[in-house]
Amino acid sequence: MKTALFVTCVNDMVFPRTGIAVVNILERLGHQVEVPRQQTCCGQMHANTGYRDEAMPVIRHFVRTFQGYDAVVAPSGSCVAMVRTLYPRLVDSDPQLAAAVAELLPRTYELSEFLIDVLGVTDLGASFPHRVTYHPTCHGMRALRLGDRPLELLSHVRGLELVPLKGAEECCGFGGTFSVKNPAVSGAMLHDKCAAILDTGADYVLAADNSCLTHIGGGLRRRRAAPRTVHYAEVLAS
Amino acid sequence: MNAYGTGHLYGPARFEKAARVELAKPQLRENLRHATHTIRDRREEVVDEVPDWEQLRESGQAIKARVARQLPELLERFEAAAVEAGATVHWARDADEACRIVTGLVKDTGASEAVKIKSMTTQEINLNEALESAGIDAYETDLAELIVQLAEDKPSHILVPAIHYNREEIRDIFRQRMPGAADTLSDAPEELAEAARTHLRRRFLSARVAISGANFAVADTGTLVVVESEGNGRMCLTLPETLISVVGIDKLVPSFADLEVFLQLLPRSSTGERMNPYTSMWTGVTPGDGPQRTHIVLLDNGRSATLSDPVGRQALSCIRCSACLNVCPVYERAGGHAYGSVYPGPIGAIISPQLTGVGENASLPYASTLCGACNDVCPVKIDIADVLVHLRGRAVDAKRDTLSAERIAMRLLSWIMSDPRRYGRALRAARRGTAPLAALLGGRRTVRHLPWPLSAWTSSRDAPLPAAESFQEWWQRTRAEREQAQRGNPSKGETS
């Protein structure tokens, strides 16, 4: 199976360790993973902020880059949701591009979908002897319906103690450009999310999206609070 | 002729500014959190017990989609049936015209006061204000609307207009502003309800005119339906001689049988009840029983304009249950007034800008994190998150000719992100640009303060710096090393 890793722009620039973790996980399972050098971004920020015309060149580039792979895996619920839910409508005026997108969609996976649904693995032999809590990010939960896939993977990690997060299904307040367009409301939501995290007494907060974790981690550090934010892929690779 | 709506559909300030004001009220936030979570939990309980809930939602969605497709025919059918049954039907293009019609109708009766049933549509057109300036006193009879009216405030929730007040605040409003309320009134719900009951009873018995909205209008029969909890509506619908109903053209359902679906969906989604206490239906005039003159004002006010947008038109399917408000984390913090419109919350953020034209309400589609909680509870399956993104697109398109800092940044980023060489160069430039900062911070990779416009981010959270080595750089370096190792020592390379 010809598998490509779409690391996402945020991970590439700020969280390379998450991409490295995905490579390690897949190679450990005996899979060859390719990282197309042409890859950049999915265009989510443009599309979600209303800049459809500006999103189009980015979308075209994404489709060109990942055409021809059997599977495209990304460690981000949000970027995969962009491809799966927004691409079809954004490209519908261009039949050729629409056909390419339709072909690409069913082969684009968030990491936990790929591991469980495609590879059929749940135990990655990882060990992470820490108290952790998990925040299900909105696009993973509601747009992709990941369900408990990430938790299923984490349940096999040796030594990991998972503490339930109160109000876990509530948005952390990031919302892409929402965080800077509506900083006051975003900050209020973040405040409540941080309080819920601190209540768990966890040492680590895990999620499927580093963008949300940047927001949450930034809020925790602002309060000089202890819990550290880590993408769940890094825990699975540990 | 302007196709868009007027009335209480926009506020003086952009959402983010208005929300900032509301966020500074801790009591408000506490009241909202408590109330929304209570209704949210109740809704979940009674929805979970319906085995065919998903099919009901799909039916509701399908019926409303059909109404959208056949609206002109259905409206004419409704008018014919209502007139046949003895009602008088009026057509209002916008809020001003609707207010003129209703004011004229009340004046024609010679009455100087009217009792009102809780109605979003009459709030939308600012009817109370119009009546007042014509010398007519309008009395709200729904308990929550009464509280809001006495406080000279605006509703902040579709179902619970006074959700922003708690019991103590309501007691104070009654003591100070309700005629005949005792100074010793406590904040016990029974006492508050009794005080309102005594006050309202006098109004019901003397009123000659009642004004209502409608939850549903049945095209086949010309029947109007009001769904309520308190029974005040039933009093208004039966005692006065004249009944005037202001009905948005989106309230139509094709046939009586369609109510079967909506009368299951609405109470469970809205109050979290299996069934609402009072469902009133009336068809024109019944001689010797109830109001002998019934008027129906069919209101457009931007609905036709909304219908013309193939993606946005699903907002017209809304049955005003307010389930989306009660699960919305943004609504919970900002409150209803921040939206500036009588329709707040997620549904308001897609209805108001479509009724007014998106240029008049451009901040509302951005009043959401796109978390999608609203989509999951909507009883008619409106894809609110999708419409929000669509309306953001319309807001951006509307200003295509003006060059803002945001547009320049977006264009630049699009140019960078659509080409890997430019992307790589930009990444390295970003790292070089932040290198002095990184050196200054030593091992720390986060920043506490950034200059404008990034200060919006650091106002409540630290910001991360680009990594010293990007993932793609790591990949290329380690693959090159691996290849070199394989070339240098093939057997070792293969087994590593």
Give residue-wise pLDDT tens across range B384-440: 999 999 999 999 999 888 889 999 999 999 999 999 999 999 999 988 888 887 777
Which uninterrupted H or E stretch holds A101?
Answer: helix A95-104
Q: Has residue B178 been placed in a domain?
A: yes
Task: Indicate if A7 and A102 belong to the same structural domain.
Answer: yes
In this prediction, residues B81-87 reach a mean pLDDT of: 98
Closest CA to B18 of A190, A182, A180: A182
Q: Indicate the angle between helix axes A16-28 and B471-488, nearest 10 degrees.
A: 40
Residues B46-55: tens digit of each pLDDT: 999 999 999 9
In this prediction, residues A197-211 reach a mean pLDDT of: 97
Q: Which residue, of A95, A118, A141, is where some domain finishes? A: A118
Q: Has residue B134 been placed in a domain?
A: yes
Q: How many structural domains is chain B composed of?
A: 2
Per DSSP bridges, beta strands A228-231 and A204-207 are parallel
Residues A111-165: tens digit of each pLDDT: 999 999 999 999 999 999 999 999 999 999 999 999 999 999 999 999 999 999 9
Q: Which residue, of B305, B321, B345, is where some domain finishes? A: B305
Cβ B362 vs Cβ B391: under 8 Å: no
Q: Has residue A49 been placed in a domain?
A: yes
Q: What is the dihedral of CA B48, B54, B57, B61, to 10 degrees?
A: 160
How many other β-carbons are positioned within 10 Å of the β-carbon of residue B287? Answer: 7
Q: Which residue, of B284, B305, B326, is where some domain finishes? A: B305
pLDDT of B496 over the 60 cut: no
pLDDT of A214 over the 90 cut: yes
Task: Indicate if A15 and A77 belong to the same structural domain.
Answer: yes
Q: Taking CA atoms, what residue in B is nearest to A170?
A: B329
Q: Which residue, of A67, A95, A118, is where some domain finishes? A: A118
Cβ A1 vs Cβ A212: under 8 Å: no
How many other β-carbons are positioned within 10 Å of the β-carbon of residue B202? Answer: 12
Q: Has residue B329 been placed in a domain?
A: no
What is the pLDDT at residue B452?
78
Task: Indicate if A109 and A135 belong to the same structural domain.
Answer: no
State whether residue B482 is helix, strand or coil.
helix
DSSP string for residues in B267-293: HHHHTS-SS-SEEEEEES-BTTBS-SE
Q: Indicate the angle between helix axes B143-150 and B167-177, nearest 10 degrees.
A: 60
Closest CA to A191 of B446, B459, B447: B459
Q: In which domain, by residue range, is A150 found?
A: 131-236
Q: Has residue B452 been placed in a domain?
A: yes
Classify residue A160 by its DSSP letter.
-
Residue positions counted in chain A: 238
In this prediction, residues A186-211 reach a mean pLDDT of: 97
Chain B residues 29-58 with a CB less than 8 Å from chain A: 29
In this prediction, residues B273-281 reach a mean pLDDT of: 96
Q: In which domain, by residue range, is B466 found?
A: 405-495
Chain B residues closer than 8 Å to A7 by CB:
471-472
Chain A residues 98-137 with a CB less than 8 Å from chain B: none
- Pairwise CA distance, residues B55 & B182, whole Å: 50
Task: Indicate if A29 and A62 belong to the same structural domain.
Answer: yes
Q: Which residue, of B305, B324, B339, is where some domain finishes? A: B305
Paired with B279 in beta bridges are: B227
In this prediction, residues A82-95 reach a mean pLDDT of: 95
Task: Indicate if A112 and A7 belong to the same structural domain.
Answer: yes
In this prediction, residues A80-104 reach a mean pLDDT of: 96
Q: Which residue, of A118, A153, A169, is where some domain finishes? A: A118
B434 vs B290, higher pLDDT: B290
- Token look-up 């055409």 returns A67
Which uninterrupted H or E stretch holds B48?
Answer: helix B26-48
Q: Has residue A123 been placed in a domain?
A: no
**How wide is the angle at C-alpha B229 spanned by C-alphas B227 and B231, nearest 5°?**
90
Task: Indicate if B54 and B174 belong to the same structural domain.
Answer: yes
Q: Has residue B472 been placed in a domain?
A: yes
Chain A residues 1-40 with a CB less than 8 Å from chain B: 7, 9, 11-16, 18-20, 23, 35, 37-40
Q: Has residue A222 been placed in a domain?
A: yes
Residue to mutate among B20, B32, B369, B402, with most A CBs inside 10 A, is B369
pLDDT bucket at B446, cuts 50 / 70 / 90: confident
- Pairwise CA distance, residues B70 & B315, whole Å: 16
pLDDT of B330 over the 80 cut: yes
Mean confidence (pLDDT) of chain B: 94
Task: Indicate if A110 and A20 belong to the same structural domain.
Answer: yes
- Pairwise CA distance, residues B75 & A235, whole Å: 60
Q: How many structural domains is chain A composed of?
A: 2
- Token look-up 């793609």 returns B472
Cβ B344 vs Cβ B336: under 8 Å: yes
Please give the radius of gyration of chain A, using alpha carbons only, rounded to the nearest integer: 17
The ipTM estimated for the assembled molecules is 0.96
Q: The domain spanning residue A191 has which CATH number?
A: 3.40.50
Q: Has residue B141 been placed in a domain?
A: yes
Q: Chains A and B: how many Cβ contacts under 8 Å?
A: 204
What is the pLDDT at residue B328?
98
- Pairwise CA distance, residues B147 & B160, whole Å: 11
Task: Indicate if A72 and A177 belong to the same structural domain.
Answer: no
Judge: A55–B414 Cβ closer than 8 Å, yes or no. yes
What is the pLDDT at residue B494?
45
State whether residue A195 is helix, strand or coil.
helix
What is the pLDDT at residue B493?
44
Task: Indicate if A47 and A104 belong to the same structural domain.
Answer: yes
Residues B266-275: tens digit of each pLDDT: 999 999 999 9
- Pairwise CA distance, residues B328 & B344, whole Å: 11
In this prediction, residues A200-226 reach a mean pLDDT of: 95
Q: Has residue B90 been placed in a domain?
A: yes
- Pairwise CA distance, residues B202 & B81, whole Å: 35
What is the pLDDT at residue B487?
86
Report the amino acid identity of residue B150.
L
Chain B residues closer than 8 Å to A14 by CB:
464-467
Residue B469 contacts A where some CB pair is shorter than 8 Å: yes
B290 φψ region: left (φ > 0), alpha (ψ -120 to 50), beta (else): left
Task: Indicate if A71 and A163 belong to the same structural domain.
Answer: no
What is the pLDDT at residue B184?
92
pLDDT bucket at B247, cuts 50 / 70 / 90: very high
- Token look-up 């299904």 returns A169
Chain B residues closer than 8 Å to A39 by CB:
420, 472
Task: Indicate if A111 and A157 belong to the same structural domain.
Answer: no
Task: Indicate if A86 and A63 belong to the same structural domain.
Answer: yes
